[in-house]
Amino acid sequence: MSKLIAFAAIQGGYKVVSEVEGLYRNALQTYNADTKVEFPNTGYYLPVIYSLTGLKVTNLENLKKPLEFARGLLPPHVKSKNHLPYLGPLLDAGMAGIIAYEVKEAIRSVTHPDFYYPHEDPDIEAGKIWTGPADDIILRKRGVEFVDGSAPGFAAIVGAAPTPEIAKMIVEDYQKKNLYIFCAANHNGQTVIQQLIEAGVQVGWNTRIVPFGPDISSAVFALGFANRAAMAFGGVQPGDYKTILKYNKDRIFAFVNALGDIGTEWGVAAAGCVNWGFPTLADTDIPEILPTGICTYEHVVTNVKHDEMCQRSIEVRGLKVNVTEINIPCSFGPAFEGERVRGADLYAQCGGGKTQCTELVKMAQMNEIEDGKVIVDGPDVGDLKEGDTFPLGIYVQIAGREFQEDFEPIMERQIHHLINYIQGVMHIGQRDISWVRISKAAIDKGFTLKDIGVVLHAKFHQDFKKIVDKVQVTLFTKKDDVDKMTARARAEYQTRDARVDKMTDEDVETYYSCTLCQSFAPSHVCTVSPERTGLCGAYNWMDCRASFEINPTGPNQPIEKGECIDPKLGQWKGVNEFVQKASRGAVTHYNFYSMVTDPMTTCGCCECIAAMLPSCNGVMTVGRDYSGDTPCGMKFTTLAGVMGGGASSPGFVGHSKHNITQGKFILGDGGLLRMVWMPKMLKEELKDRIMARGAAMGVPDLYDKIADETVGITEEEIMPFLQEKGHPALSMDPIIG
Amino acid sequence: MAEEKEKVEKGLKLADPIESSIDISTQEMIARSHKLGIETVFDRAVNMKPCNIGLQGICCKNCAMGPCRLPLPKGGIVGEDTRKGLCGATANTIAARNFARMVAAGAAAHSDHGRSVAEVFMAAAKKQTTAYKIKDTEKLIAVAPHLNVATTVEVDGKTLDRDIDEIAVEVAEKALNEWGKMEGELLYLKRAPKPLYEKWEKYGVKPRNIDREIVDIMHRTHMGVDQDYKNIVKQCSRASLADGWGGSMLATDLQDILFGTPSPLQSEANLGVMKKDHVNIIVHGHEPVLSEMIVAVAQSQEMIDYAKKNGAVGIQLSGICCTANEVLQRHGVPPAGNFLQQELAIITGACDAMVVDVQCVFQNLANVAKCFHTKLITTHPMAKMEQENVVHIQFDEHYALEDATRIVKMAIENFKNRKADVMIPPYKSPQIAGFSVESIKYHLGGTFRGTYYTLNDNIINGRIRGIAGVVGCNNARTKHNEHHITIIKELIKNDVIVLSTGCSAITAAIHGLLTPESAAVYCGPGLAEICETVGIPPVLHLGSCVDNSRILLAATEVVKAGGLGNDLCDLPAAGSAPEWMSEKAIAIGHYFVTSGVYTVFGGNLPMSGAPVFQKYLFEEMEKMYGGKWDVTADPIEHAHKMIAHIDKKRKELGIDKARERVLMDMADRQKLEA
């Protein structure tokens, strides 16, 4: 009986819009019309309103238009007999409700500025459990997971389960399937988040359980996240609502779980979500809407049993999640990657300055090792007391007909997240500075060190089946063995680093494309060369090569660079041809080593964006975790908005952090010596490498000549600093010819 | 003399009311007409049989050597068909020429209607009249590009919105030019799916202008000109396209811009909408230009007060035929009946004025009106009546309000002349009308997600089996309304959604099929579920007979939305005119066939006497355009011919099996097209 749903949701639309109009009137009586209205650190204003209508809300006054728009969308009520068609009106009412909810949250940012705790994780001790709208840093960091598939979608859960145990079961089902869980609204005062906390589940972005807010209006943050993803990664223009919503339907695999009685205010929100192609599954016995069309499959499915909620939801949304079961006593998956093992939860640990913890992957001969064998050489956790520390050496041997020594570091880098995927086990660092913390909960479930070997064996086979035939894992826990292995590992690291760092673009004839993010940014094509790692920071040339070996039809394809058209700016015929084809004619050519002349295209995944500073005759760059203003006049998020979506924008280029100190970084424009400003955090992170690269370019104190936000955030402010320090850029040829 | 007259009257048989119609109000009014001694079309149909030769389409009266009649020999043609007229014209030539002249007449009727709308449009655009305004600017801007009219202007390198009045004037000029331009082809042809346009190009049937193709037919079918039935059919295609994708489509578009694009609304239908204590004005005919003004005037307080002063409670406006549909779609004015009920509306004794313009108006209305106080008012310069009781008030769009006021006043003043014997049958049905290409799109997903893909998706998944256009007239040779309703019910029972126009839509309304509630009663489970989800009736009223162009454009939208082929002929769809009678129906049928639609007519098509020509229309045309003609007198067979065609198309599209649920993983998503 869709009619009942339409009737209720349209009523809900009137109710919500009227309520928010009232709140707005009250706010205007208390605050000046020019009072600033914003969600924390975002370049997308109120993201739903901005993305769908193009309206940029920055103060209370600006809220008038979206509210009028919402009011205008409200359709006539549905009559009991001989009613007019209601599907379109229902969806319009839903949208009116969503817009009103976003306005409501915007008003809340004025009236209750401290209502939310805008961090990745809540501060439960302080009672700050609601984190509110995600800022752009979280959006980009987490958005990339949607892009590369490590997060297949999100479940927006509203309300509360009948018991904390049921809440935990549903949410863990989603975690095991790698989905994000966005939580909002309460049912009779109870919320899923409170239930999870009670059940001892860690909540926050790091465990993919996001506590948006306690009201139904906070559910709008999930939609704001989705629409920002469409703009940031899909390059969809604000105001192009058709494309934004279609993008969501086709590419963002999200849905709503309504736990508890659905009133008109939830109803209108659910109807609103259908505009995005996000269906609703409810645990109550209300009418269903089964025909397809606006959503890919059913629109409203009800009376779903709690233990089937996860399975039914992903099926209704048309999502396939490939999860292989790994035979360990703990839950396993990316959702547990960010989970922490805090002091109070800790059972035992290794590394972290207390003991040595080292990881090494080495190639082995086929007859040398036994596949699946896990040796724990020394005491296991069962031999330890609570609070103990122990040394650990994780030594993985891989054999495979297609395996090469070059793949060793790539495999080794997997160890960090794979161990982290184990629920109740935390991994920090890499190589010889690793740190593993094991929680009491994991021990209670029966975790032993052997399980680390089981995980690595299973996942290496699963993710790298083309190159991996045999995997054997040895876990050393005796100090002498660990020290011996560490010495050997350090020698290996050195050899490897030297090999990678010495590689130049001239050394190879083949570059690699990366279209991993084409599921989100359909026209963007990265080309990765030895001296230009992928702009997302995740893929260097070696990785791409390995990825191609592993999956020859995958997103990393070899590009014969062909005839060199411009050695200074870095342009090759073969690359141009490839890019033209892969971008479907949108981009005909680009330069690897220039940001001034036809730079490489940029997608929303980039770690940093460099921008030209003409008055300083130099460039600046800013990383995505710096949220302040920059001398180019734009914050990172604004830059990314201007640049992302696969466009080549002269004067700007997206790049990885690592690329800054690579030899070919904007070499056509003068290279790293042009760098006049970086955020302090980024500068410090790269300190050693900047100093080394500066020295190589003949300016050993370059590091000290680069300004940061403590010097200034405008070109005028930093200029005296550059002059005083004698920055090399000031005496270089004009950056624009 | 007196004796002789009585004898004639005695010899006149009376129609059996129950056998004449399936509608109870019609049955009651036929009975009443008998009681009052008033003859109606139902009685005449009983007394006058159709000409058997004409029925077969093989009577030629195009020159004075004839009429030549070429009946089929008893037992059919054995060996060579040697039949010919004095000039040697074969049965094929004669039937094709007769058919062509019907196409010409039908196309002329629609297109001339379109022309007068275009003229009013021009007057409104140039602000030469205050009565008409450009009402739907959104549609104006949507239509303009199809007439090569720019909607933006470049000023200093910036693109700005062009002045609306300027756009309107140019649209008017370009539109009017379509009737008589000397070069090029009809601009709207490019609105069709590309493969269809290319077929028209390939077979040389793209109309040059609207009028010329009609003149061409009249010339070509003159004695001794085109004597190749295939070549005649080709011209029929060209002229009919000039109607469907020309005159009719322009009429619809320009009417929408002037009077508003319809969106769903609630109304009622049948003779019961007339009110005993109100002044009843019935608008009948086809053009909305005058009736729009009558609606405006009749709703004015001044006129309502005037009606009260004259002893009535108020003014009840209602309609017959397509004028009814025009004012229903835009204002919710209820239709009092369809084509065959026009005399009956007067026989209620409660019709104070019937205002008629063009097409489908019985001359016998004047005879019936004579028996009552009813003022029968003709308004169109080309449509007068010889009977002296008929009032002619020639309508001039430059004095539209004055003319309308005069008419409404005349009706009000006539209220007091009503005789005691008034009988309005107490039957009327609620209906939801007012669908258009635009409003269907909206209702398939709202402001943000409105798209025909929602419909396609449910055709692909099999909830909806296909789409049928059921349109056209009533015909006194068929039991009134029976075939419309039998066919529509059979279609929706089999999950075929029905788009309807003209008298067929009024019929569906009278029989309760235009209510959302009817879906659960009459539809198969799939269609019922869709109707419930969208909140629509299983039969969508798309307007008048010129609005069949809306069906063409709706089908084009379905093609564009994707998943159901590239051309109209790929769609699981079929057309139908169950009770056709007018030449316009033939023009409509032919432009649907030439646009790729399988089209079934009820009753008879006048071509059975020329089997080769008939085979050409029934089989050969499909090879060129993908659409073809068919005919059957049995309504159930009629519906199942359509369903069989729909199933054939489903099979060709590969959607005849249950759709799989495709679950997407990341790799699938990466393969998504940009």
The DSSP result for A532-551, as a single string, is B--TTSS--HHHHHHHHHH-
Residues from B contacting A (CB-CB < 8 Å) are 264-266, 430-432, 442-450, 453-455, 457-458, 461, 463, 515-517, 529-530, 532-536, 661-666, 668-670, 672-674
Output DSSP code: residue A137: H
Task: In whole angstroms, give the CA distance from residue B58 to residue B610.
Answer: 7
- Tell me the pLDDT tens digit for each residue of A143-158: 878 877 778 899 999 9
Beta strands in A579-737 (DSSP E): 608-613, 618-623, 652-655, 675-677
Q: B450 to chain A: which residues are within 8 Å by CB?
A: 88
Here the tokens at position A413 are 């880098």
Q: Does B67 sit behind a cis peptide bond, omega within 30 degrees of 0 on the bond before it?
A: yes
The DSSP call for residue A700 is: T
The three-state secondary structure class of B115 is helix
Residues B251 and B159 in one domain: yes
Per-residue burial over B536-549, b = 16 or more CB atoms within 10 Å of its CB, e = otherwise: bbbbbbbbbbbbbb
The phi and psi torsions of A559 (rounded to 5 degrees) equal -125, 115
Can you read off the two tokens belonging to residue A546?
């390995």
pLDDT at A644 (0 to 100) = 64
Confidence of residue A469 (pLDDT cuts 50, 70, 90): very high
**Once rounded to an integer, what is the mean pLDDT over residues B54-63?**
96
- Residue B2: what pLDDT? 45
| B387 within a domain of the structure (yes/no) | yes
* Mean pLDDT value of segment B450-476: 96
Question: How close does chain A come to B316, measured CA to CA in Å?
Answer: 21
What architecture is domain A505-731? 3-Layer(aba) Sandwich (3.40)
In chain B, what percentage of residues exceed pLDDT 70? 98
3-state secondary structure at position A477: coil
Beta strands in A443-578 (DSSP E): 470-476, 510-514, 526-528, 558-560, 564-566, 571-572
Mean pLDDT, residues A259-264: 93
Give the C-alpha separation, B536 to B437, whole Å.
14
Among A422-436, A529-543, A656-670, B349-363, top mean pLDDT goes to: B349-363
Say if residue B10's pLDDT is above 70.
Answer: no
* Overall average pLDDT of the A667-676 stretch: 94
| Same domain flag for B392 and B327 | yes
Residue B111 domain-assigned (yes or no): yes
Q: How far is CA B559 from CA A160, A382, B530, in A?
A: 45, 68, 20
The token duo for A196 is: 């999870």
Residue B374 has pLDDT above 70, yes or no: yes
Query: What does the block give as tokens for B355?
Result: 């205002």
pTM recorded for the entire structure: 0.86
Q: Angle A646-A651-A657 (CA atoms, 0-180°, nearest 5)?
A: 70
Residues B401, B403: Cα–Cα separation, whole Å: 5
Q: Are residues B586 and B445 in the same domain?
A: yes
List the domain boundaries for chain A: 2-316, 342-490, 505-731
Radius of gyration of chain B (CA): 25
Tell me the DSSP string of B610-654.
-HHHHHIIIIIHHHHHS--EEEES-HHHHHHHHHHHHHHHHHHHT
- Contact flag B666-A88 (C-beta cutoff 8 Å): no
Q: For position A406, what pLDDT does the model report?
A: 83
3-state SS assignment for residue A201: coil
- For B556-608, the pLDDT digits (tens) are 999 999 999 999 999 999 999 999 999 999 999 999 999 999 999 999 999 99
State the alpha helices, DSSP H only, in A59-126: 64-73, 87-111
β partners of residue A514: A526
- CATH 2.40.40.20 holds for A342-490: no
| Cβ neighbours of A295 (radius 10 Å) | 25
Percent helix, strand and coil across chain A, each to the nearest 5: 45, 15, 40
**What is the pLDDT confidence band of residue A316, given thresholds at 50, 70 and 90?**
very high
Which residue, A396, A452, A403, is CA-closest to A424? A452
Question: Could you tell me if B309 and B208 lie in one domain?
Answer: no
A153-174 burial, b at 16+ Cβ within 10 Å, e below that, comes to bbbbbbbbbeebebbbbbbbbb
Angle at A667 between CA A661 and CA A671, to 5 degrees: 55
Lowest mean pLDDT among A106-120, A445-459, A573-587, B138-152: A573-587
Any domain includes B367: yes
Strand partners, A435: A351, A428
Chain B residues whose beta carbon lies within 8 Å of the beta carbon of residue A81: 430, 517
B536 with B588, same domain: the answer is yes
Count CB-CB contacts under 10 A for residue A58.
13
* CA-based nearest residue in chain B for residue A246: B449
Q: Which of B229, B259, B289 is the last residue of a domain?
A: B259
Lowest-pLDDT choice from A547-551, A677-681, B516-520 = A547-551
Model pLDDT, residue A607: 85
CB B321 within 8 A of CB B291: no
Say if the Cβ atoms of A85 and B536 lie within 8 Å.
Answer: yes
Under the banding of pLDDT at 50, 70 and 90, the label for residue B315 is very high
Cα gap A641→A236, rounded to integer Å:
10
Q: What is the DSSP letter of A381?
A: G
Are B497 and B644 in a shared domain? yes
Q: Is the pLDDT of residue A1 over 60?
A: no
Residue A237 has pLDDT above 50, yes or no: yes
| Mean pLDDT of all residues in B449-462 | 95
Are residue B357 and residue B483 in the same domain, yes or no? no
The CA distance from A436 to A422, in Å, is 11
- Token pair for residue A567? 């050695």
Range of the domain at B409: 271-417
A179 vs B: CB within 8 A: no
Residues 6+ apart with CB under 8 A from B82: none
Q: Specify the pairing of strand B59-60 against strand A652-655.
A: unpaired
pLDDT at B7 over 50: no
* Contact: B444, A87; criterion CB under 8 Å: yes
Percent of chain A exceeding pLDDT 70 equals: 98
Note whether B469 and B393 are same-domain residues.
no
Whether the per-residue pLDDT at B1 is higher than 60: the answer is no
A303 φ, ψ (degrees, to nearest 5): 60, 35
The count of domains in chain B is 3
**Averaged pLDDT of chain B:** 95
A–B CB contacts, 8 A cutoff, strictly below = 138
The whole-number pLDDT of residue B674 equals: 55
Interchain CB contact of A243 with B (< 8 Å):
no
Residue B582 in domain: yes
pLDDT surpassing 80 at residue A545:
yes
**Across residues B131-143, what is the average pLDDT?**
96
A670 token code pair? 């003068």
What is the CATH number for B204? 1.20.1270.30
CA separation for the pair A601, B342 (Å, rounded): 70
CB contact under 8 A, A88 and B516: no
Question: What is the C-alpha to C-alpha distance for residues A246 and A226, in angstroms, rounded to an integer?
Answer: 12
What average pLDDT does range A212-233 have in this prediction? Answer: 94
Are B253 and B142 part of one and the same domain? yes
Is the pLDDT at A519 greater than 70? The verdict is no
- Using the predicted structure, report yes or no on whether residue B350 has a pLDDT greater than 90: yes
Q: Which of B529, B670, B672, B673 to mutate to test the interface with A (most CBs of A within 10 A)?
A: B670
Nearest CB among B432, B449, B530 relative to A82 is that of B432
Residue A334 structure tokens: 């990316």
Residues B392 and B451 in one domain: no
Q: Do the domain assignments include residue B63?
A: no
Residue B610 included in any domain = yes
Cα separation, B379 vs B381, whole angstroms: 7
B670 interaction partners in chain A (CB closer than 8 Å)? 515-516, 518-519, 555
CA B556, B576, B206: angle at the middle one, nearest 5?
45
B436 sits in the region (left: phi over 0; alpha: psi -120 to 50; else beta) called beta
Q: Of A84, A290, A319, which has the smallest distance from its Cβ to B535's Cβ?
A: A84
Same domain, B634 and B589: yes
A2-316 has which fold? Answer: Rossmann fold (3.40.50)
Token pair 């629609």: residue: B110
| The domain boundary residue, chosen from B360, B382, B417 | B417
pLDDT attached to residue B4: 43
Q: What's B349's domain CATH number?
A: 3.40.50.2030
Lowest mean pLDDT, pick from A100-104, A222-226, A235-239, B536-540: A235-239
Rounded distance, CA A621 to CA A630, Å? Answer: 9
On whether any CB of chain B is under 8 Å from the CB of A280, the answer is no
Mean pLDDT, chain A, as a whole number? 91
Q: How confident is the model at residue A522 (pLDDT cuts 50, 70, 90)?
A: low
Q: Is the separation of the CB atoms in B354 and B280 below 8 Å?
A: no
Residues B396 and B442 in one domain: no
pLDDT at position B195: 98
Q: Among the ranges A3-7, A320-324, A429-433, B630-634, which has the highest mean pLDDT value?
A: B630-634
Mean pLDDT of B449-472: 96
Instruction: Report pLDDT for B6.
Output: 46
| Tokens linked to A608 | 């940093």
Ranges assigned E (strand) in A138-289: 153-159, 180-184, 209-213, 253-259, 280-282
